[in-house]
Copies of this chain bind each other. A is one copy, B any other.
Amino acid sequence: MEDFFTIFSPTNPVFRTYAFWSTVLMVKMLFLGIGTGFQRKLAIFSKKEAVKSQTKAVSNVNEDIERMRRAHMNDMENILIFLPLCFAYILTNPFPWLAMTLIKAFAITRILHTLVYAFAPVPQPTRFILFLVGVFVNAYMGFSIVKAFF
């Protein structure tokens, strides 16, 4: 284990990769949160319209919100664990290319997971596989930390 100076420095490509992709994932979650809020308002509006015109246009909008909300929830369950786990994993001084590959794999599969969940549904098991990649990265990092520290 190297010292904090060397590891948490903008000259360390592993830390840069971590900082960049973590920030991207957090901003993504932020927009997903705003999106859920706006869609909810839209749904309330549509509901009023639908009541007026006695149609059933509401259910689809509600389903869309539900999908977005669940995508957000799944993000919280996985990304909020990735952030501290990866921070500790970097402290264990892993091979740089391995660490950077894991970080990118996690970030990209989480972004695709959101797209597939909330915006462009595709048949399963696409989403499930994307979810498993993230879980695998988290689990691998977890076991590496336990191994490195003890």
Query: How far apart are A25's CB and chain B's nearest CB, in angstroms?
Result: 9
Which of A3, A9, A20, A88 has most chain B Cβ within 10 Å? A88
Contact of A23 among B72, B77, B80, B88 (CB under 8 A): B88
Q: Does the CB pair A77–B84 fall under 8 Å? A: no
A interface residue count range (under 10 / 10 to 19 / 20 to 34 / 35 or more) = 35 or more
Q: Does the CB pair B30–A150 fall under 8 Å? A: no
Complex Cα gap A85–B138 (Å): 20
Which chain B residue has the least Cβ–Cβ distance from A3? B5
On chain B, the residues within 8 Å of A121 by CB distance are none
Chain A binding surface, main DSSP class? helix
On chain B, the residues within 8 Å of A142 by CB distance are 23, 26-27, 30
Q: What are 28 A-B interface contacts by the 8 Å CB criterion?
A: A4-B4, A4-B5, A4-B8, A10-B148, A16-B150, A19-B91, A20-B149, A22-B88, A23-B85, A23-B142, A23-B146, A23-B149, A24-B146, A26-B81, A26-B84, A26-B85, A26-B138, A27-B139, A27-B142, A30-B81, A30-B139, A33-B77, A34-B135, A37-B128, A76-B76, A76-B77, A80-B80, A84-B84
A residues touching B (Cβ–Cβ < 8 Å)? 1, 3-5, 8-10, 16, 19-20, 22-24, 26-27, 29-30, 33-34, 37, 72, 76-78, 80-81, 83-85, 88, 91, 128, 131, 135, 138-139, 142-143, 145-146, 148-150
